[in-house]
């Protein structure tokens, strides 16, 4: 695989042409002490400045990625009666097939089909297509390993021991979900009035999300107030920081806003592997990251409740986080200032 381009004058800050940070997992895992500490700092800046990066040399075989994408594609192509039992499922049901985000509350119609499968602590999976269970089990295990490695390095990047976030969120019993997304082509694009949107702006409810796509671009991330189309380095994964990372890091790292656009001519597909805390963990900021005099920015919330709340309501940017944000008010002589 080609090594990522390095911007001139910044040899230690690898990034794509658009400036999206690129993290080389091989260096994080096997680099010597100096390379590792540089890579950990780079990862920390990627989380702080972007909440979004690409990971290369990640060790998940390309043919496993393709097999996962193909299995999802086959599932979307099955006759409806073979998926019917999963189509009325609610947000906390372990297998769910549907269109839009949560059609019970969407209000708008999103141009998207999805399959969601809880994958850890236990894999749940439709019986058809035949090969899906085997592929999903392998894909879940490999991507979970990768996400846990990234979590350990992210913990270090916050100046904490590598295992601190894992211990806080009880990641030994982590929650993981696999999602297949299919966005059919739509001639009316997002710039047209009434044009189709795949998924509206949101942040993810978990800790970290890993995503790859079928060669058709459409994922946009908000960076410095602007939407940027994410173009992957071949063979890399996108990594998206989620709300639980924002909570546990006491707001040092933020869940990044992103959305999916629909292509005018080609079907777009993406495969998502999302890592979250143990569903029963009460997620609170790591106390070492309190900044005096403000202290902690978030109240504790059980991840299961957070996820259910986010998944049961209309997708509304980062609205779900307000549920747990500590509201502060400073009373001044003339007005009430909200921080
Ligand atoms: C998601 C998501 C984006 C995409 O599934 O949460 O943001 O490109 N998907 O499919
Ligand atoms: Ni998302």
Give, for all 339 residues of the chain, the pLDDT tens digit.
444 444 443 444 699 988 999 999 999 999 999 999 999 999 999 999 999 999 999 999 999 999 999 999 999 999 989 998 998 888 899 999 988 776 666 566 678 899 999 999 999 999 999 999 999 999 999 999 999 999 999 999 999 999 999 999 999 999 999 999 999 998 875 565 555 788 999 999 999 999 999 999 999 999 999 999 999 999 999 999 999 999 999 999 999 999 999 998 999 999 999 999 999 999 999 999 999 988 999 999 999 999 999 988 878 899 899 989 998 765 555 555 444
In a domain, 330, yes or no: no
Neighbours of 56 (CB within 10 A): 21
**Quick one: how far is CA 201 from the chain centroid?**
13
In a domain, 229, yes or no: yes
State the virtual CA torsion across 158, 162, 164, 165 in degrees, nearest 10.
70
CB half-sphere exposure, 139, CA atoms < 13 A: 32
Q: Of 76, 105, 77, 75, which Cα lies nearest the Cα of 90?
A: 105
Beta bridge partners of 291: 295
Identify the residue whose tokens are 């189509």. 87
Q: Of 68, 82, 79, which Cα lies nearest the Cα of 117?
A: 68
Q: How many residues does the chain have?
A: 339
CA of 292 to the centre of ligand 2 (A): 32
In a domain, 202, yes or no: yes
Distances (CA, A) of 125 to 66, 93, 122, 142: 18, 11, 10, 17
Mutate to test the pocket of ligand 1, among 210, 260, 275 (most ligand atoms within 8 A of CB): 260
CA of 212 to the centre of ligand 1 (A): 9
Give pTM, 2 decimals: 0.92
Closest ligand 1 atom number to CA of residue 209 = 6
In a domain, 263, yes or no: yes
Residue 321's pLDDT is 94
Mutate to test the pocket of ligand 1, among 102, 114, 184, 211 (most ligand atoms within 8 A of CB): 211
Q: Of 165, 234, 202, 242, which Cα lies nearest the Cα of 22?
A: 234
Name 214's Cβ contacts closer than 8 Å, sequence gap at least 6: 69, 267, 268, 269, 270
**Residue with CA nearest ligand 1 atom 9:** 260
In a domain, 333, yes or no: no
Ligand nearest to the CA of 256: 2
Ligand 1 within 6 A of 199 CB? yes
Residue 249's pLDDT is 98
Region label for 83, one of left (φ > 0), alpha (ψ between -120 and 50) or beta (otherwise): alpha
Q: Which residues make up the environment of ion ligand 2, defined by Cβ < 5 Å?
A: 204
Distances (CA, A) of 12 to 28, 35, 213: 13, 9, 27
Mutate to test the pocket of ligand 1, among 73, 181, 213 (most ligand atoms within 8 A of CB): 181
Ligand 1 within 6 A of 270 CB? yes
| Secondary structure of the chain as H, E, C letters | CCCCCECCCCCCCEECCCCCEEEEHHHHHHCCHHHHHHHHHHHHHHHHHCCEEEEECCCCCHHHHHHHHHHHHHHHCCCHHHCHHHHCCCCCCCEEEEECCCCCCCCCCCCCEEEEEEEECCCCCCCCCCCHHHHHHHHHHHHHHHHHHHHHHHHHHCCCCCCHHHHHCCHHHCEEEEEEEEECCCCCCCCCCCCCEEEEEECCCCCEEEEEECCCCCEEEEECCEEEECCCCCCCEEEEECHHHHHHCCCCCCCCCEEEECCCCCCEEEEEEEEECCCCCEECCCHHHCECCCECCECCEEHHHHHHHHHHCCCCECHHHHHCECCCEEECCCCEEEC
CATH number for the domain harbouring residue 294: 2.60.120.330
Closest ligand 1 atom number to CA of residue 218 = 8
Please state the domain count of the chain. 1
Closest ligand 1 atom number to CA of residue 112 = 10
Query: Dihedrals φ, ψ of 187, to 5°?
Result: -65, -35
Ligand 1 within 6 A of 259 CB? no
In a domain, 61, yes or no: yes
In a domain, 13, yes or no: no
Neighbours of 336 (CB within 10 A): 8
CA of 181 to the centre of ligand 2 (A): 10
Residue 78's pLDDT is 94
Note down the domain range covering 230.
Answer: 22-323
What is the biggest distance separating any 2 CA atoms in the chain, rounded to whole angstroms?
A: 69
Ligand 1 within 6 A of 179 CB? yes
In a domain, 337, yes or no: no
Helix 62-76 to helix 132-157 angle (10° resolution) is 120
Q: Of 267, 109, 111, 76, which Cα lies nearest the Cα of 185?
A: 267
């Amino acid at each position: 695989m080609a090594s990522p381009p390095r911007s001139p004058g910044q040899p230690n800050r690898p990034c794509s042409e658009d400036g999206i940070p690129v993290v080389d997992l091989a260096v994080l895992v096997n680099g010597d002490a100096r390379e590792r500490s540089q890579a950990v700092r780079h990862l920390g800046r990627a989380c702080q400045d972007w909440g979004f990066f690409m990971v290369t040399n990640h060790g998940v075989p390309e043919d496993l990625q393709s097999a996962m994408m193909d299995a999802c594609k086959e599932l979307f192509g099955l006759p409806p009666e073979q998926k019917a039992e999963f189509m009325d499922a609610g947000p906390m049901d372990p297998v769910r097939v549907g269109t839009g985000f949560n059609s019970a509350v969407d209000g708008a119609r999103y141009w998207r089909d999805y399959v969601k499968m809880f994958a850890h602590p236990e894999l749940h999976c439709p019986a058809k297509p035949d090969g899906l269970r085997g592929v999903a089990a392998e894909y879940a295990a490999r991507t979970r390993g990768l996400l846990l490695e990234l979590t350990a390095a992210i913990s270090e990047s916050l100046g904490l021991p590598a295992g601190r976030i894992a211990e806080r969120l009880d990641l030994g019993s982590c929650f993981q979900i696999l999602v297949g997304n299919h966005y059919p082509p739509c001639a009316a694009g997002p710039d047209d009035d009434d044009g189709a949107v795949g998924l509206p702006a949101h942040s993810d409810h978990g800790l970290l999300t890993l995503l790859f796509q079928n060669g058709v671009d459409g994922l946009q991330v908000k960076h410095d107030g602007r939407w940027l189309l994410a173009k992957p380095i071949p063979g890399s994964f996108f990594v998206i920081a989620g709300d639980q990372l924002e909570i546990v890091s006491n707001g040092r790292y933020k869940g990044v806003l992103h959305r999916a656009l629909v292509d005018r001519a080609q079907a777009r597909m993406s495969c998502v592997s999302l890592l979250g805390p143990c569903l029963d963990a009460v997620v609170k900021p790591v106390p070492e990251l309190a900044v005096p005099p403000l202290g902690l920015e978030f109240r504790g919330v059980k991840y299961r409740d957070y996820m259910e709340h986010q998944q049961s309501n209309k997708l509304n940017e980062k609205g779900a986080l307000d549920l747990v944000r500590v509201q502060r008010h400073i009373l001044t002589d003339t007005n009430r200032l909200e921080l």
